[in-house]
Amino acid sequence: MPFVMYENGLEMLGRMIESSCVLSLSMVDAMTKANLENIERAVDATQKAESLVNTSRVAATAVVEQATSAANTAIAEGQETAAAIDSAASKKLEEAAAKTDTPKSDLQDAAESRTAARSSGNAASSPRSAPRTGATKSSTSDSPAASKS
pLDDT in tens, 100-138: 887 878 878 887 888 888 877 655 544 554 544 544 444
d(CA 66, CA 62): 6
pLDDT in tens, 70-83: 999 999 999 999 99
d(CA 94, CA 103): 9
Going by C-beta distance under 8 Å and a sequence separation of 6 or more, which residues neighbour residue 140?
146
Residue 41 binned pLDDT confidence (cut-offs 50, 70, 90): very high
54 pLDDT more than 90 = yes
> Using CB atoms within 10 A of its CB, is residue 111 exposed (0-12), middle (13-18) or buried (19+)?
middle
Average pLDDT on 88-103 reads 86
- Average pLDDT of the chain, as a whole number: 82
d(CA 63, CA 91): 42
Cβ atoms of 86 and 76 closer than 8 Å: no
d(CA 104, CA 92): 10
Instruction: Quickly list H helices, the chain.
Output: 2-100, 104-119, 144-148
Q: What is the maximal distance between C-alpha atoms in the chain?
A: 167
69 pLDDT more than 50 = yes
> Could you tell me the pTM of the whole model?
0.44
Average pLDDT on 1-14 reads 75
What is the residue extent of each domain of the chain?
A: 2-119
Residue 10 binned pLDDT confidence (cut-offs 50, 70, 90): confident
